Amino acid sequence: MGVRIKIIIILAIFVVIVMVTVFVLVPNFTGSISNRTAIEAEKQNYQMLRSRLDETMLVQDEYYLLNAEYQKYLLKLPSESDISVITNELYDIAAFSNVEIHSIDYSEEYVEIKNQKMEFSKIIADVIIVGSYYDVVNFVNVIENMPRMSKILNVMVQSTDDNYESLNAFVKIEMYSEVKQINVGK
């Protein structure tokens, strides 16, 4: 074979190798570049979404904290003066303290705090209970320590029989509930 034919064959093989490289490897290389670009975009998107999720979780934690604080204050100062709820609370406390409630009389008045622009309902409960001295004291202590804002105004105790094992107690309790927030112009 002549030198010319060898050169032509080598050039033909070189052209075939270049064409195979162009037609096979270049599309794969450009696909790889586009895949790498898409992966980088997804990483950035993931990091952005992760930071937004972290911010949202912080807001959620703050919401739960504020909601728990609101629920605590709602126990102390309920938004309604539902007498049935108060009555149930008093009967539960009486059962816990091992005393018997003979009667409960309620009176209610509204108190306005002008500088706070709030109006409250003050409920006075006159409760007559029967029990031993220590049970009556326990009833009064539980009332003073209950979550609802309450205050014992007066306690009068008298014996019911000659051996002083059972006592009548007249307990005056003051409790509050929020009525509304007063809207003042300006």
Q: Residue 93: its pLDDT value, please?
A: 92
CB contact at 8 A, 71 and 116: no
- At 162, which amino acid appears? D
> Does 81 have pLDDT greater than 60?
no
* pLDDT 10s digits, 13-35: 988 888 887 777 767 777 777 78
Architecture of domain 83-181 in this structure: 2-Layer Sandwich (3.30)
Euclidean distance between CA atoms 75 and 155, whole angstroms: 24
Over range 80-105, report the average pLDDT.
86
Q: Please, which pLDDT band fits residue 118 given cuts at 50, 70 and 90?
A: low
pLDDT range class, residue 123, cuts 50, 70, 90: confident
Helices within 21-113 (DSSP H only): 26-76, 83-97
pTM passes above 0.75: no
- For the residues 39-43, what does the mean pLDDT come to? 92
